[in-house]
Every structure is written in structure tokens, then in C-alpha cells.
A and B are shown apart, each in its own frame.
Chain A
Amino acid sequence: MTAVYKAILNLVIAFFFVISLEGIARKITARIQRRIGPPWYQNFIDIFKALSKHPFSNGWIFDFGVLMALGGAIATAAIIPMGSTFWTPFPNTDNFFVIMYLFAVGSLGMAMGMVGSGSPWSAIGVSRALTQMLGYELPYLVVMSSVMYMYKTSSIHLLIEKQATNGWNLYVMPIGAIVAFISLIGMLGKKPFDIAVAPAEIASGPMAELSGKYMGLLQIMHAFSIFVEVGLFVDLFLGGGSLGWFLVKFIVVWVLATLISSVLPRFRIEQMLKFYWGVPLGLAFLNALFVLLGWTF
């Protein structure tokens, strides 16, 4: 039963904490661009306003896609360990590949529902998002394989425990951590990798047809996705600690990603692919080689 309470806590933190952080990110970007920016709670206002409006639905698959997206994101966010074995809701199931593929349910649901809306903008956006996935997942998964090979486990809470004795992976394999962070920016869809939404070119891509509660629900889904993506990075590279430390590390990673993204322009699709399959993939293999040879700190 405690597993269920812990999973619910995961979801509550994911909701309030990440949506506040999204507001803070808007504030940071605004300050860098010498604007005042909205208040930190602006995203809560946006979501509740969207949820309360009368929406338009483009057919049953549109509704089903939104439900599948949110459902998949909730399921994944519920498994993520938060920095220690104690805050691991399902210690038998927090396997890395399970999390990555369960996470894909949400992406597939979103892609399906949005293309189902019948708007060509959405279809173009989804095709871009899937191509981008091919770009960032490859270096990320190679780095993760080397992490799992080194510690002989793919269970996230065991990897956190191993780091407690061995030192953070950020220090043990700095190259791998850097590659994973670059992939994380792509996963979050922040600039320079916001190709899929690209508001100026394709009318926010997949979101073109969203109105009212559909927009609100997908914003909540987006918050859960950020929780999964950044949470995994913190767990795997920044060691463990209490729940408070986990959240502090979460904020640091998120602010760093925001700072980087707010000064960069957008890549084109093939530039993005060439970038990810160039230096980051090469470094990921170099990191794997170091792990094989035992050249870790």
C-alpha cells in the first residue's frame, strides 16, 4: 500500500513542483531578454484557464490520443525513484528500459491524437518530433548502456545506491554525463531542439488544433514528462540523497537547461540529426570504451 502513497506523492510533486519550475523558466528567459516576464505561477493560471474553457474535439481518436498521452505520462511519472531507495515506489519495476518504453506510450498517444485532428501542421510537427527522437535517443541510450554495464544493474534505485559508495556518475564518467545532458535538452524539446513545435514556422506543430481542456491536459502531461526526463538524469548522474536534495538538484539541472536554451536559435532537422550523430554519439562510444577499459574515476 505504501507503494501507492509514494506513487501519489510522485504525481503531486511532479504537478506542483514542475509547473512552478516552468513558470520560473519563463521568468529566467524574460530576464535574459531584458523583459520583466510573467509571475512564477503564470503556468497554473494558464492551465486552469484552459481547462475551464469550452473546447472543440476533432473526433474520437483525438480524445483517445489525449487520454493515452496523459495516462502514459502519469504511469511513467509514478515509477520514477526520487533520489533514494526509500522514495522508490516500485523497487521491482524501476528498470531503466521499462521507464524509457513506458514513456513512449505517452509520446505515441500524443502523436496519434494530434495527427488524428486532421491538421497538416500537426502531422508535420509529429514527423519532426519522431525524427528528433531518433537523434537524441541514440547517444543517450549508448551512455546509459555503459552506465548499466559498469554497475551491472539497470534498476534505477540500485544505481543510486551504487553512486553513494562510488561517487556521483558526473565525476565517475564526466563525458557520459555531458552527453546525457545534451540529449536531455533535446528530450525536453528546448531550444536549439524545439524543432517539433517551432511556433514561427508550423503554428506550434502538434498543438495546432488543441483548445480548452485538451490544451490544459496536455500541459499537465508535459509537466509529468519533464519530471520523468530531468528526474532520470538527476537519479543517474547526480547521486542520491534526501527528497530535498533531489529537488534542489532537479532545480539546478532545469535552470541550467533553461539558461542554455534561452540564448540559442533553432536547428533545422538535418542539422539536429548531424549534430547528435556526430560529436555526442562519438563521445558516448568513447565513454563506453573508457568503461570497458576501466578508465573511470
Chain B
Amino acid sequence: MFTLLIALLIFSVVNYFISKASWRVGSIINALIGSYLIFQVFTIPKGTEVTIGKFLGETLALQWTNAGFYFSFVSLLVIVAVMFFAIKWLDSQKHPAAFNMFILMVTAGSLGVFMAKDLITLYIFWEIAVLSSMLIIPMGKKESRKAAVVYAVMSAVGTYMFLYGAFMIYSRYGTFSMPEIAKNLANDPSTSFKVAVVLLIAAAGIAKSGIFPLHTWLRIAHGNAPDAFSAVLSGQLVKLGSYVLMISVAVFPSLKIFANLKLYSGVPAPNYFLIALGAASIIIGTLMAIKQDDMKMLIAYSSVANGGYILVGIGTMDPLGFEGGVLHVFNHALAAAVIFMAFASVVYRTHTKKISELGGLIHKMPITYIAYLFAIISLAGIPPMSGFISKWMIYQALVRKGMFITAAIAFFGSIGSFLYVFRPLAGVFLGQLPRKYKDVKEVPPIMWIPMLVLVAISFVMGVWPFPILQPIENMRADFGIAPSFKIADAQNWLVRGFSGSWNPVIVFNLFITGFIVAYILYTLFPKPKKVDLLKPHKEEGAPINIYTSGEFIYTPELYHYNTKFYAGFERMYEKHPSWEKLLYMLAKFFHDVGEWIHGWFFRPSPSAYTFWLAMTILIIFWVRW
């Protein structure tokens, strides 16, 4: 395993020079390596352990677990799809060689995080993934530089808290190894220490998966990153955060650790705190996504909301809630990756990401449209796509626990997701095509095939979810969360909840039958005459043939309804308080204080500068010796 990671890191640098010669060869090699890695994660036997070094007298090690396998597999699906997508898409970028190098580093870093056995190894690979992704973000447009800074700062807040927690653990138990820590925490009498440590470890996950107080970087980073890389950011890198959150509540068994802190229906207080943060993220993400005009920022906010779902599911530590949360990682990864790739295709052809400037692209890019459509069906949690299964499990857990307020927020997020995913559907793909895009073409196959493959996986897992539920069941068994019934019952084709069950195959068959009956009815009756919505583009001066209250319309793009799509609803929370503005005020305050200190002590005269330098050195000597 370790040789694999080191080889990846070394080859990423080699690939930079290959890509300098020909970036297309480099990106094809990338895609092949990625495909090989997907094959490779299936061959590593579970429980393999490799020692990689020593730190403070403690051995650092990698371990291949069920959780690591599941997260690595999901990550690789997303990354490999984007690597194939990039083979063509990179020709719209300025730095393809650096992109090829850093995306391999991101892969190596993420795999290392999922393989790490101890907190320090996790931290090292975490920083590799974060730093290399941070260097890809500024390759976008002008604002991307600032986006990278915000991303780095928010990540740093999380990782420093994580490190602080790790060293607190080390000073008390003298170990970094996660299984050891879990054992020690379960027997520790000090409640305040346990709460502090678990929340500090969780802070890295909160920052990375965009949970409420640290969610602001998602909008800026996902919105401004290079278009295809947003798919990796939202589909894969955010899931590193979910992994750390899972460590802090499941690998460190919170039900045992906080057995005397149960707050309400068996959920411990720290978990409840995390669930509350997740619920806040669902509300903020949904409301903000509904009013975005920038389609990438819209889905970035939706990632905030879905990160909230994952946290709510895992935080309950209920067998169903846990499986739902972990399955939502897979569903959201695939859906968000396809959506961002579809948007990257749109931007690749039209060079804009504003919904209000687009429209009617279904006439020109039907395959991208189909990929987007199925991805949003999964994201909104509608059967027969796999997104429904995880939402169903999370609802079951919330209803079983009687957590009505959290459940109401989850319902709000789910119905709200219909609203926000429909906005790009209506504004970008349906409706009237603006005249300036009349010569736009569908993207080449190497760009749409990865999207369709991901959509197909999500679809198959929605009809027959047992292959993807099996690794999750294994994980759940590892963490000792045992249900009183079998959740994934492949013999009877059933997915069971705490009460009642459902058969995904029957649901799919009903859906297909309904569709066939509808089609038969459709063919029985007279054939329609076609209305050509593109007629004004083809013939100068031809009016469009739709109902317009008796007006003749020669400029159809003016009649495309895509600006302020939910005006009636958006008006209701126009004057909402903004967390982002508060953070900027804080940043401004520190900036001003720094300016003041700078102006006071480091005046641009060499003598004052030397004086303060000498003073500082003297103070250091006086304190230390």
C-alpha cells in the first residue's frame, strides 16, 4: 500500500514533465493509472497493515479497513471520471501539465487518508490532498486566487484544531493509533476531556465537508475552481471531511464513550451538537442554493446541505441512520460529480456559468442534459435512482428516534432540493435558446461518456442496491452498531427499515410498467404536429409558435423565464443575516489590527526596525535562558 502511494506521488512529478511535452499523453496516462487503481483497491486484502515510520517514538502505520475500501472506491470513481473528462476538457485550460500533476497528488493524498491507521499519518496525507487541491483552484479565473486563500484558511482552522486534539490525546494516552485511542477513550473517566477531544477531531471534518460555521469556503472555492475540478472538490474532497466525522463518532464509539451523556432517545450530547450543526447546514445550504444565479455556486450550496445530511445520518449512530449517512456519501459523490461535469461541459461550450445568460441548451446538448437530469433525480432523492435509498434510511432513523425537528429540517432540505435542482434544469437546458448560442455543439464523447457511466452506476445501484450496501454493512459491523433486523436483505430483494420494508426491484418495475402503459396510450392517439422552437434562429423574421396572448414574438430569448426563478419565495428571506459577512468583518478587524501594529512598530526606518529586532531577541534570550 505504502509503495503504491509513494509511487503515485513520485509519478505525479514525472507526469508533470511528460505533460509539459504533451499534456494529452499525460492526461491519458492519468486516466489509465486511475482505472488501474480502481482495480487495485479490490485486490488489497482487508486488514493489511504496513509500518511507514516513527514519530515521537510512535510507529506510523497504514491499515486497509472496510471503511477505507468503501471511501477509496467512491473517491476513485469520481476522480477517474474527471480524469477521463479532462482528456478533452483540458484544452480550455492554461496549465494542463500542473493540473495533471496535482490531480494525481490529490488521489494519493486522499487514498492515504483513507488508509491511515493513526492520526498523524492521516494528517500528513490530509495536508497533501488539501495543498495539492489548493494549488489547482487558482488555475480558474481571476477571483480564484482569493478563493484558494479562503479555502486554505478554512481548512487550516479545521486541521489545527484536529492537530491540537491529536496531541491532547498523545499527551494523555501516549498513542496516535486510532484503535488504541478508541479503547482508551471508552475507559476514560473525564467527560470534559472526551468531549473536547472528539469535537476537536471532528472540527477538521466540519471544515472540510462544509458544515455550518465553516461552510463559507464551499461557495467561493467550488464556484471559482476550474470547472471539472469542482466535480472532484464536491464529489470527492468534501468526502474526506465526512470520513473524519465518521472517525470522530463511529471509530471512536460515541455510544460507549458518552454512555452517561445520553441527551434524547439514546443520542449522546456531543453527537446531538454535531447533528444540530448538520441541520443548520441543511437549512442554510438549501435556502442559499435556491436564490443563486451562478449555477456552480448553486450546487456548491447544495453540497453544504448534503454534507449536513451525511452528518445527521452518521451522527444518530442508529444502524439505519449510519448506513443512510454513509450511503449518502456515495450518492452525493456521484450526483455532484456528474452535475459539475455537466456544468463544465456547458461552460466549455458557452463560456458562462450564469443561469440568467443561458437557456434552451437541450436543443444543442441533449446528452449532457440527460446526464444532468438523471443526476438531479438522484440528488433530489427520487426513485429509481440510488439517492432515494440513503434519504429513506436517514428518515427512518430520524422517525424511529422521534427527532421531529431534525426530521422536519431534513424534509425541508429534501423538498427544497427539488426547487434548486430544477432551477438550472429550467434556466440552462429548457426554454428558449439565446441567439448567440445557436451554433453551440454537443461536447465530444470523451466528455459525455464518463458522465453517463457515473449516472448508470447510480441507476443500477438504485434498482439493485445490495452490492453497495454490503461494504457499508461490513463497516457497520466493524464499528459494532448492530440492528435487530437485517437491513439489506438480498435474498428477499428487500431493504428493511425499523418498520416496514420496500423492494427496489418492484418500485423500478412499477416505474417501467407505468412508463410503458403511458407510451401505449400515447401511441394510440393521433400523431402530433411538431412546433419548431428554433425557427426564429433558422429563418430571419419568423415568429415563434407558442401561446403568447396574441402577440407575435420574434425575440424568444426575452421570453425565457430564468431570472429570480422563485421570486415569490426569495422575497421572503431577502434580508437574511449573513454568516459570511460576519466572518469578513472579523477578517477585516484582524487585518486592521495587524496594519496598526505594523504601522506602529515597523515604520519604514531601518533604525526602528533594528531596535525592535534586537528587543525581540533579548526578550527571547531572557525568557528561555
Binding site for B on A (CB under 8 A): 7, 51-59, 61, 63, 66-68, 70-75, 78-79, 90, 92-95, 97-98, 101-102, 104-105, 108, 111-112, 115-121, 123-124, 126-128, 130-131, 133-134, 137-138, 141-142, 145-146, 148-149, 151-155, 158, 203, 208-209, 212-214, 216-217, 220, 268-270, 273-274, 281, 285, 288, 292
User: Could you tell me the distance in whole angstroms from the C-beta of A50 to the nearest C-beta in chain B?
Assistant: 9
Residues of B within 8 A of A281 (CB): 408
The distance in angstroms between the C-alpha atoms of A154 and B501, with both chains bound, is: 8
Residues of A within 8 A of B399 (CB): 145, 148-149, 154
Residues of A within 8 A of B430 (CB): 61, 112, 115-116, 118, 123
State the main secondary structure of chain A at its contact with B.
helix
Binding site for A on B (CB under 8 A): 360, 362-363, 369, 373, 377, 380-383, 388, 391-392, 395-396, 398-400, 402, 404-405, 407-408, 411-412, 415-416, 418-419, 422, 425-426, 430-432, 492, 494, 497-503, 506-507, 510-511, 513-519, 521-522, 525-531, 533, 544-549, 556, 559-562, 565-566, 568-569, 571-572
Assuming the contacts A108-B418, A145-B398, A149-B402, asked whether A95 and B502 have C-beta atoms less than 8 A apart, the reply is yes
Closest 4 CB pairs between A and B?
A269-B568, A155-B500, A57-B528, A74-B514
Whether B373 contacts A148 by the Cβ 8 Å rule is no
> Contact partner of B522 among A53, A67, A208, A292, CB < 8 A?
A67
Residues of B within 8 A of A292 (CB): 402, 404
Q: Nearest CB to that of B388 among chain A residues?
A: A101
Residues of B within 8 A of A217 (CB): 518, 521-522
Assuming the contacts A93-B503, A127-B566, A154-B500, asked whether A102 and B383 have C-beta atoms less than 8 A apart, the reply is yes
User: Could you tell me the distance in whole angstroms from the C-beta of A152 to the nearest C-beta in chain B?
Assistant: 5
Whether A119 contacts B547 by the Cβ 8 Å rule is yes
Q: Nearest CB to that of B433 among chain A residues?
A: A118
Residues of A within 8 A of B391 (CB): 97, 101
The distance in angstroms between the C-alpha atoms of A127 and B617, with both chains bound, is: 66
Assuming the contacts A74-B513, A115-B430, asked whether A98 and B518 have C-beta atoms less than 8 A apart, the reply is no
Whether B422 contacts A130 by the Cβ 8 Å rule is yes
Residues of B within 8 A of A209 (CB): 546-547
Whether B388 contacts A273 by the Cβ 8 Å rule is no
The distance in angstroms between the C-alpha atoms of A117 and B548, with both chains bound, is: 12
User: Could you tell me the distance in whole angstroms from the C-beta of A245 to the nearest C-beta in chain B?
Assistant: 24
Whether A134 contacts B415 by the Cβ 8 Å rule is yes
User: Could you tell me the distance in whole angstroms from the C-beta of A227 to the nearest C-beta in chain B?
Assistant: 13
The distance in angstroms between the C-alpha atoms of A73 and B513, with both chains bound, is: 11
Whether A130 contacts B566 by the Cβ 8 Å rule is yes
Assuming the contacts A78-B514, A112-B430, A118-B431, asked whether A90 and B568 have C-beta atoms less than 8 A apart, the reply is no
Residues of B within 8 A of A75 (CB): 507, 510-511, 513-514
Assuming the contacts A51-B525, A101-B381, A108-B418, asked whether A138 and B411 have C-beta atoms less than 8 A apart, the reply is yes
State the main secondary structure of chain B at its contact with A.
helix
Whether B415 contacts A133 by the Cβ 8 Å rule is yes
Whether A105 contacts B522 by the Cβ 8 Å rule is no
Residues of A within 8 A of B561 (CB): 120, 123-124, 127
Residues of B within 8 A of A53 (CB): 526
User: Could you tell me the distance in whole angstroms from the C-beta of B437 to the nearest C-beta in chain A?
Assistant: 15
The distance in angstroms between the C-alpha atoms of A216 and B522, with both chains bound, is: 10
Assuming the contacts A130-B419, A138-B415, asked whether A72 and B507 have C-beta atoms less than 8 A apart, the reply is no
The distance in angstroms between the C-alpha atoms of A40 and B407, with both chains bound, is: 42
User: Could you tell me the distance in whole angstroms from the C-beta of B32 to the nearest C-beta in chain A?
Assistant: 36
Whether A153 contacts B544 by the Cβ 8 Å rule is no
Residues of B within 8 A of A63 (CB): 522, 528
The distance in angstroms between the C-alpha atoms of A268 and B516, with both chains bound, is: 38
The distance in angstroms between the C-alpha atoms of A116 and B560, with both chains bound, is: 11
Whether A127 contacts B522 by the Cβ 8 Å rule is no
Whether A137 contacts B501 by the Cβ 8 Å rule is no
> Contact partner of A55 among B499, B528, B560, CB < 8 A?
B528
> Contact partner of B526 among A54, A117, A151, CB < 8 A?
A54
> Contact partner of B425 among A70, A112, A124, A212, CB < 8 A?
A112
The distance in angstroms between the C-alpha atoms of A29 and B425, with both chains bound, is: 37
Give me 6 A-to-B residue pairs in the complex whose CB atoms sit less than 8 angstroms apart, sorted by A's number: A68-B515, A93-B507, A95-B392, A98-B502, A146-B404, A269-B569
Q: Nearest CB to that of B423 among chain A residues?
A: A127
Whether A149 contacts B526 by the Cβ 8 Å rule is no
User: Could you tell me the distance in whole angstroms from the C-beta of A1 to the nearest C-beta in chain B?
Assistant: 14
> Contact partner of B514 among A72, A155, A212, CB < 8 A?
A72
Whether B530 contacts A57 by the Cβ 8 Å rule is yes
The distance in angstroms between the C-alpha atoms of A138 and B283, with both chains bound, is: 13
Residues of A within 8 A of B499 (CB): 148, 151-155, 158
Residues of A within 8 A of B511 (CB): 71-72, 75, 102, 105
Whether A95 contacts B500 by the Cβ 8 Å rule is yes
User: Could you tell me the distance in whole angstroms from the C-beta of A111 to the nearest C-beta in chain B?
Assistant: 6
The distance in angstroms between the C-alpha atoms of A35 and B411, with both chains bound, is: 42
Residues of B within 8 A of A274 (CB): 572
If A101-B383, A101-B391 are given as contacts, then 15 extra A-B residue pairs at C-beta distance below 8 Å, sorted by A number, are: A54-B527, A67-B522, A70-B518, A71-B516, A74-B518, A78-B510, A95-B500, A108-B380, A108-B418, A119-B548, A127-B426, A148-B499, A149-B404, A213-B525, A217-B518
User: Could you tell me the distance in whole angstroms from the C-beta of B355 to the nearest C-beta in chain A?
Assistant: 12
Residues of A within 8 A of B527 (CB): 54
> Contact partner of A203 among B405, B503, B510, B549, CB < 8 A?
B549
Residues of A within 8 A of B503 (CB): 90, 92-93
Whether B526 contacts A213 by the Cβ 8 Å rule is yes
Whether B526 contacts A212 by the Cβ 8 Å rule is yes
The distance in angstroms between the C-alpha atoms of A226 and B396, with both chains bound, is: 26
Residues of A within 8 A of B529 (CB): 54-57
Q: Nearest CB to that of A53 among chain B residues?
A: B526
Residues of A within 8 A of B369 (CB): 61
Residues of A within 8 A of B501 (CB): 92-93, 95, 155
The distance in angstroms between the C-alpha atoms of A124 and B560, with both chains bound, is: 10
